[in-house]
Amino acid sequence: MIARTQAQDSYLESFAQFDKGAAKNGQGWLSPIRRAAIACFAELGFPTTHDEDWRFTNVGPIAQISFRLLQDGGNELTPLDLEQFSSSGFACSRFVFVNGRYVPGLSSPPQLPGDLKVNSLAHALTADRDSLEQHLARYADYQHDAFCALNTAFMEDGAFVCIPPGAVLQEPIYLLYVSTAGAVPTIVHPRNLILAGNNSQATVVEEYVSLGADVHFSNVVTEVVVGENSVLTHYLIERESTQAFKVSTLRTQQGRSSNVASHSLLLGGALVRNNVHPVLAGEGSDCLINGLFMATGQQHMDNYMKVEHASPHCNSRQFYNGILDGKSRGVFHGRIIVHKDAQKTDAKQTNKNLLLSDEAQIDTKPQLEIHADDVKCTHGATIGQIDEDAVFYLRSRGIAEASALDLLLFAFASENFQRMKAEPIRSYLQELVKQWLSRGKLLEEAR
Amino acid sequence: MLEIKNLHVKVDKQEILRGVHLKVSAGEVHSIMGPNGSGKSTLALVLAGRETYEITAGEVIYEGKNLLQMAPEERACEGVFLAFQYPVEVPGVNNIYFLKAALNAIRKHHGLDELDAMDFLPLVKEKMKLLGMDDQLQNRAVNEGFSGGEKKRNEIFQMAVLEPRLAILDETDSGLDIDALKIVANGVNALRSPQRAIIVVTHYQRLLNYVVPDFVHVMVDGRILKSGGKELALELEEKGYARLEAESQAVTSPRT
C-alpha cells in the first residue's frame, strides 16, 4: 500500500511541474481537463486485482516503478536507426513519433490528398483548437480509468488525423511510435485523435516498437470519432520489447450507419493491456473487433473489450484468438453492454485460445449487460492444445515436426487475417506472425 | 523391401499386435484383411510412425533400415506413405499448398531442387484428372468440409503426387460407392510398378476385384493367422471371418 501511494505521489508531483510548463505553451485551455484528470487519478489510484475489470492482471510492477516522464528525445535518431522497422512493405504516408513526440525528420514526406490533415497533436492543440475542444477527452473515460486519467493529465503530443467528409483514402495512414528508453525507466503518454468525416473512408495503422531493451511504459489513448456512413479501419500492432509495459485504449464513437473495424496484433511487451471500447452511438452502425495475441516467455497480455450498443439496429462482432507459449498468460475479458433503447442489437463474441505449454495460462470471461428486450447476443470461448492428429498427418507426408506446428499455428492465426480487407497491411501482419513462428523455415520457403 | 518380425504393440496397456510377421518385396501388392479390432489399422499407423503406440517387441526393417527408429517425416521422405482410414481435417491449411510443401520436403531430402508453383501446378492438374477430382478442392483447406468419399480420394491424390515406394492403404475403400471405388482403384493401379510395394488393408473383398493382390493375409486378434494368394480373399468373403476367429480362439484359449 505504501509503495502505491508513493508512486501516486510521484505522478502528482510530476504533474505540478508539467502543468506549469504547459501553461506557457498556449495550451492554457486544456488545463481544466488536465487538472480534472489528475484529480481523478489521485482519487482512483492504480487498480488492483480486487477490481473486477483488472481481476486477472496485476499492475503492481507498473505502480512500483517510478518512471521518469520523457518530454523530448528522439532528436538524435536518424532514419538509419529506424531501418529495421521500415520493412512495412506497403505504400503509405508514415508519421514517426519518438517517445510520444512527432518527429517530422523521420517521417516520410506526406503527400496528403485534398483537405486531409495529419499532424502532431501538439501542433493541433493550438492550430486546430476548435476541433480539439469539441472532441479531445470527450470520449475516453478518464473519470473511471486510472491509466486514461494519467494519459489525459499528461497528454501533450501524438497524432491528430482529420479526414474530411466524403474523402476516400487509398493508402493507409501509418503511425509509428518508437520508444527509446535509457538507464532510468521512462514513461510516455501518446495521445491520438482521429476524426473521420461523414461518408469518408480511411485506414489508420498504429504500430508500437522499442529501440533497445530497457524498461519503459507506453500509456496510450486513441479517440476515434467516426461520422455518419463512414468506414474506418484501425490497426494496432504491438511489438515493443519484452521489457515494455503497455496500456493502450482505443475508444471509438460511431455515428449513424458507420462501419468500424479494429484489428489488433499483439506480439511484444512484458505486460500489455489492450482496451478496445467502441460505442455504437448512431443507429445502424457496425463494428468488427478482430484481435490476435501471441505470447511467450513471461509475457502477460490482457485484452479488455467493452462494446457498448447505445442505438438500435447495430451489429458488433468480436473475434479474438490467443496463442500462448512458455509461462505466458493471456486474458480476454469481453463485455457487451446493450443500452435500454438499443433494440435489434446483434452482438457476437468469440474467443479461441491455443495453449502450447503446460505453464501457459488463459483467463477468458464474457460479460453481458443487456437492458433492452429485443436483442441477439451470443458469446463463446474455447481453450485447446495443438491437434496432435493433425501434426501427425502433416508429418506422415514428409513435413518436419517444427514446420508442421508452424503451419497449424499459422492456420489458427489465419482466421484473424481472413477478417482483414486491406491486402498490403494484411501481408505485413502475416509476415510479423511468420517471424514469430521462427521454429520452422517452411513458411518462408513455401511463399 | 519391408520385413516385419514378431511385432508386439500396446495401447493403454492393452496388447493390440501380438507377434506380427510379414515380408513384402518390391513389385508386390499385399492385402491384409480381417475383422474389426483385429489390429489392421494399428499395424498401418505403427508403420507410418504414430507415437501413441508402444512397441514392446519385434522389429521392422525397411530398405535395410530400422523403420521404428525413424521419425514419421523421415519415413515419408524415405518413401513410406499411409492413406489414412480417417483423413484428418486441417483447417486453414490449403490443400495444394500443403501438398507442395510435402513434395518439396521429400525432394529436398533426396537432394533434388524444390518445385515452384509453375512446375507444381501442371503435376497437380494431371493427378487431379486421374482421380476425377473437382478443381475446387485445390482451393480448400486440407480435408475440411470434404465428404467421406472426397477425403479418401484426396488421400490417393496425395499418394499419386508424392509417388511413394511403399504405400499402405488403410480401408481406403470403406464407404465408397462403386464409381468412386473404381477411380480409387485406378489411382492405385497407376502406381503399381516393379519398384514399388503396396499394402492394402481392407475389411471387404470388393476393392480386391479392382486392385488384384499378389498375397492376401488374414489378421485376427493381433496376428496374421493365414496367408495365401488372391483366392483367399474370395474364400473369406464366402465363409466370413467368424470361422477364423473361432480357430483363433482355439489357438489362444488353452493358455487361459
**Using an 8 Å Cβ cutoff, are A227 and A197 in contact?**
yes
Distance from CA of B185 to the nearest CA of A (A): 21
Half-sphere exposure of B11 (CA within 13 A, CB side): 14
Angle value at C-alpha B80, between B79 and B85, nearest 5 degrees = 145
Mutate to test the interface with B, among A292, A386, A393 (most CBs of B within 10 A): A393
Question: Which of A55-69, A123-137, A237-251: highest mean pLDDT?
Answer: A237-251
What are the pLDDT digits (tens) for A347-389? 999 999 999 999 999 999 999 999 999 999 999 999 999 999 9
What is chain B's mean pLDDT, rounded?
A: 90
Looking at the predicted structure, is the pLDDT value of residue A166 above 70?
A: yes
CA distances to A239, A348, B1, B167 from B213, rounded to whole Å, are: 59, 56, 17, 13
Q: Which pLDDT belongs to residue A73? A: 58
Quick check: A411 and B101 CB within 8 A? Answer: no
- For residue A392, give the nearest of B50, B103, B158 by CB distance: B50
What are the pLDDT digits (tens) for A185-218? 999 999 999 999 999 999 999 999 998 888 999 9
- For residue B102, give the nearest of A392, A397, A415 by CB distance: A397
A400 touches chain B (CB under 8 A): yes
Quick check: A398 and B73 CB within 8 A? Answer: yes
Confidence of residue A445 (pLDDT cuts 50, 70, 90): very low
pTM, two decimal places: 0.88
Q: Which pLDDT belongs to residue A1? A: 42
Looking at the predicted structure, is the pLDDT value of residue A295 above 90?
A: yes
Q: Which pLDDT belongs to residue B175? A: 82
Distance from CA of B177 to the nearest CA of A (A): 25
Confidence of residue B255 (pLDDT cuts 50, 70, 90): very low
Residue A392: list chain B partners with CB under 8 A.
49-51, 72, 88
- Mean pLDDT along residues A412-434: 90
A405 touches chain B (CB under 8 A): no
Interface of A with B in 129-188 (CB under 8 A): none
Task: Search chain A and give the residue with CA nearest B72.
Answer: A396
Q: Which pLDDT belongs to residue A111? A: 67
CA distances to A318, B6, B42, B253 from B10, rounded to whole Å, are: 45, 13, 10, 20
In whole angstroms, what is the distance from residue A96 CA to residue A175 CA?
A: 6
Quick check: B49 and A398 CB within 8 A? Answer: no
Q: Which pLDDT belongs to residue B142? A: 92
Residue B163: list chain A partners with CB under 8 A.
none
Residue A396: list chain B partners with CB under 8 A.
48-49, 72-73, 75-76, 81-82, 84
Strand (E) or helix (H) holding B62: strand B54-62
Quick check: A446 and B90 CB within 8 A? Answer: no
Task: Search chain B and give the residue with CA nearest A400.
Answer: B73
Q: Which pLDDT belongs to residue B250? A: 62
Task: Search chain A and give the residue with CA nearest B50.
Answer: A392
Q: Return the residue matching grid coordinates 502450447.
A: A356
Confidence of residue A301 (pLDDT cuts 50, 70, 90): very high
In whole angstroms, what is the distance from residue A224 CA to residue A252 CA?
A: 5
Looking at the predicted structure, is the pLDDT value of residue B99 above 90?
A: yes
Distance from CA of B90 to the nearest CA of A (A): 6
- For residue B91, give the nearest of A392, A404, A411 by CB distance: A411
Q: Distance between the two ends of chain A, CA-based, in angstroms?
A: 54
Per the structure block, which three cell numbers stand in for A426? 494484411
In whole angstroms, what is the distance from residue A136 CA to residue A224 CA?
A: 10
Confidence of residue A178 (pLDDT cuts 50, 70, 90): very high
Average the pLDDT over each of A154-158, B158-162, B176-180 and give the range with the smallest value: B176-180
What are the pLDDT digits (tens) for B27-77? 999 999 988 889 999 999 999 999 999 999 999 999 999 999 999 999 999
Distance from CA of A394 to the nearest CA of B (A): 8
Distance from CA of B101 to the nearest CA of A (A): 6
Mutate to test the interface with B, among A354, A395, A412, A443 (most CBs of B within 10 A): A395
Quick check: A400 and B75 CB within 8 A? Answer: no
Confidence of residue A412 (pLDDT cuts 50, 70, 90): very high
How many CB contacts within 8 angstroms connect chain A with chain B? 88
**Using an 8 Å Cβ cutoff, are A44 and A73 in contact?**
no
A401 touches chain B (CB under 8 A): yes
- For residue B93, give the nearest of A396, A398, A411 by CB distance: A411
Residue B88: list chain A partners with CB under 8 A.
387, 389-390, 392-393
Task: Search chain B and give the residue with CA nearest A446.
Answer: B101
What are the pLDDT digits (tens) for B212-240? 999 999 999 999 998 988 888 888 877 77
Quick check: B90 and A399 CB within 8 A? Answer: no
- Mean pLDDT along residues A106-110: 74
Q: Return the residue matching grid coordinates 504405400.
A: B167
Quick check: B90 and A393 CB within 8 A? Answer: yes
Quick check: B114 and A411 CB within 8 A? Answer: no
Mutate to test the interface with A, among B47, B50, B75, B98 (most CBs of A within 10 A): B98
Looking at the predicted structure, is the pLDDT value of residue A440 above 90?
A: no
What percent of chain A is modeled with pLDDT above 70? 93
Nearest to A260 by CA among A209, A221, A223, A218: A223
Q: Which pLDDT belongs to residue B180? A: 87
Q: Which pLDDT belongs to residue A441? A: 41
Treating both helix axes as pointing N-terminal to C-terminal, what angle do A401-417 and A388-395 enclose, rounded to 10 degrees? 120
Residue A410: list chain B partners with CB under 8 A.
92
In whole angstroms, what is the distance from residue A315 CA to residue B202 CA?
A: 52
Q: Is A137 left (phi over 0), alpha (psi -120 to 50) or beta?
A: left
Residue A394: list chain B partners with CB under 8 A.
90, 93, 98, 102
Residue B114: list chain A partners with CB under 8 A.
445
Distance from CA of B210 to the nearest CA of A (A): 26
Q: What are phi and psi of B41, to 5 degrees?
A: -70, -35
Interface of A with B in 358-397 (CB under 8 A): 387, 389-390, 392-397
Q: Which pLDDT belongs to residue A94? A: 86
Strand B90-94 to B141-142 pairing: antiparallel
Residue A442: list chain B partners with CB under 8 A.
101, 105
Looking at the predicted structure, is the pLDDT value of residue B117 above 80?
A: yes
Angle value at C-alpha B99, between A382 and B65, nearest 5 degrees = 105
- The interface pTM score, or ipTM, of the predicted complex is 0.93
- For residue A397, give the nearest of B50, B76, B109 by CB distance: B76
- Mean pLDDT along residues B151-173: 94
Nearest to B54 by CA among B84, B17, B22, B19: B17
